[in-house]
Amino acid sequence: MTKKEFAKLLFEKGVFNTKTKAEESVDVIFDSIEKLLLEGESLSIINWGKLEVVERKPRLGRNPKTGEEVKIGTRKSVKFRPGKAFLDKLN
């Protein structure tokens, strides 16, 4: 599902009065989440999950074409940990 399809879904469920308002609101939500994560903060939504920035350790990788070992440096990534209620629904 794309961001535009998600906004359309919210409009169809009656959350927003217009598709344009739905798209603008979804943009604001995702921009706010992005800004929060870029500042090093985490986002916790009870019973759903947690988004947080984690630092991945350097490691050795392998070039799939040549088989040559390549050093992969430290980098940041976003990690999602689902909440218990969400996991229960999945299973």
Instruction: Sort strands 69-72 and 75-82 into parallel, antiparallel or unpaired.
Output: unpaired
Which residue is listed with tokens 């979804």? Answer: 26
Three-class DSSP category at 39? coil
Q: Please indicate, yes or no, whether the overall pTM of this predicted structure exceeds 0.95.
A: no
Instruction: Please give the pLDDT value at position 77.
Output: 95
Q: Specify the pLDDT at position 73.
A: 94
What confidence tens digit (pLDDT) does each residue in 22-80 have?
A: 999 999 999 999 999 999 999 999 999 999 999 999 999 999 999 999 999 999 999 99
Return the pLDDT at 66.
Answer: 93
Backbone dihedral angles phi then psi of residue 13, each to the nearest 5 degrees? -80, 0
CA-based nearest residue to 77, from 57, 60, 53: 53
Q: What is the DSSP letter of 82?
A: E
